[in-house]
């Protein structure tokens, strides 16, 4: 009896992982990045990070962003673009100071593990008089207002300033915590602009899961990648769990990466960038 129960369990587990449309999201296993994946390595070509300023018609200000161009960036080629967003305490410098996005990508290119791309690191707090020191309720509307600034001001600025591809399949949007919530909210609300979306440890600014995707069929058709990840020791874990459950319910393909023992910190977010960047702008391996 016990034996047959066990065998039924094995059969069920196999069935769940092989029947199309059932729990497809949890199949992929993400391993920890290798040693020094985020370190500046000798013998590897390096990209550049520069500071740009653009006119925000949305906010009525000149606003700053950092832009990473890959090693050997040339106007003879057109590159896809990842817009990578920060958290509640950050700005355009947060990823650069704490997340080593340039070294992570330099090292991936050197190993031919990622398609050369431009990474834009905006300031996602779109307001005249709100700072990282303000309480969350004052900051939240500024993070929400960034949707318009991004679509109307920043993306057009990037596309006229850099040698980039401008179709939806050449734009990705991802971010950490508040930026993860922004990425899910803005990305899934603008599938004609973004085909690749990632939420890393997304915060409570994430729309309620039932409201995130208005048209599941459109999402299935247009999304090339939806990556949802969180550490299981993160106080915000339930947000990503809720999004994942809703996506499963609506059978929307996505990758769900639960980082075992992971907290709300850059150890997790650097690992997310390492995995997410390898999946971008190409057929899934």
Where does this chain bind ligand FER (CB under 6 A)? 87-88, 136, 140, 177-178, 203-205
Hey, which bits of the chain come out as E strands? 48-56, 61-69, 81-85, 118-122, 171-176, 196-200, 225-231, 255-259
Q: Which is nearer to ligand FER, 47 or 87 (CB)?
A: 87
Q: Which is nearer to ligand FER, 169 or 211 (CB)?
A: 211
Shortest distance in whole angstroms from residue 2 CB to ligand FER: 46
Q: Which is nearer to ligand FER, 70 or 180 (CB)?
A: 180
Q: Which is nearer to ligand FER, 87 or 199 (CB)?
A: 87
Helix axes 136-148, 178-189, angle to 10 degrees: 30
CB 204 within 8 A of CB 229: no
Shortest distance in whole angstroms from residue 37 CB to ligand FER: 23
Q: Which is nearer to ligand FER, 185 or 205 (CB)?
A: 205
Shortest distance in whole angstroms from residue 137 CB to ligand FER: 8
C-alpha 167/C-alpha 165 separation (Å) is: 6
C-alpha 43/C-alpha 8 separation (Å) is: 53
Shortest distance in whole angstroms from residue 7 CB to ligand FER: 45
Q: Which is nearer to ligand FER, 87 or 101 (CB)?
A: 87
CA-to-CA separations, 52 to 67, 94, 104, 165, 283, in angstroms, rounded = 7, 15, 21, 19, 32
Nearest Cα to 86, choosing from 202, 158, 177?
Answer: 177
Instruction: Tell me which DSSP letter residue 25 carries.
Output: G
Helix (H, G, I), strand (E, B) or coil at 85: strand
CB 244 within 8 A of CB 256: yes
Shortest distance in whole angstroms from residue 272 CB to ligand FER: 14
Shortest distance in whole angstroms from residue 246 CB to ligand FER: 19
């Amino acid at each position: 009896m016990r034996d047959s129960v066990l065998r039924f369990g094995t059969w069920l587990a196999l069935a769940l992982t092989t029947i199309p449309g059932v729990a497809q999201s949890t199949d992929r296993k993400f391993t920890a990045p290798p040693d020094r994946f985020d370190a500046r390595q000798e013998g590897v070509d390096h990209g550049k990070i520069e500071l740009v300023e653009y006119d925000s018609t949305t906010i009525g200000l000149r606003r700053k962003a950092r832009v990473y161009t890959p090693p050997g960036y040339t106007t003879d080629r057109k590159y896809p673009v990842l817009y990578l967003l920060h958290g509640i305490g950050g700005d355009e410098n947060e990823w650069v100071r704490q997340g080593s996005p340039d070294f992570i990508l330099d090292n991936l290119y050197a190993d031919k593990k990622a398609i050369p791309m431009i990474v834009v690191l905006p300031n996602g707090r779109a307001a005249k008089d709100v700072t990282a020191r303000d309480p969350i309720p004052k900051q939240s509307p500024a993070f929400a207002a960034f949707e318009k600034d991004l679509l109307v001001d920043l993306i057009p600025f990037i596309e006229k300033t850099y040698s980039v591809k401008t179709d939806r399949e050449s734009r990705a949007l991802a971010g950490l915590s508040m930026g993860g919530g922004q990425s899910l909210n803005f990305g899934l609300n603008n599938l004609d602009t973004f085909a690749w979306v990632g939420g890393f440890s997304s915060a409570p600014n994430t729309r309620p899961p039932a409201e995130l995707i208005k048209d599941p069929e459109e999402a299935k058709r247009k999304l090339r990648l939806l990556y949802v990840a969180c550490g299981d020791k993160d106080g915000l874990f339930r947000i990503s769990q809720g999004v994942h459950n809703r996506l499963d319910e609506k059978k929307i393909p996505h990758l769900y990466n639960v980082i075992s023992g992971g907290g709300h910190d850059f150890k997790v977010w650097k690992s997310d960038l390492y995995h997410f960047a390898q999946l971008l702008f190409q057929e899934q391996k």
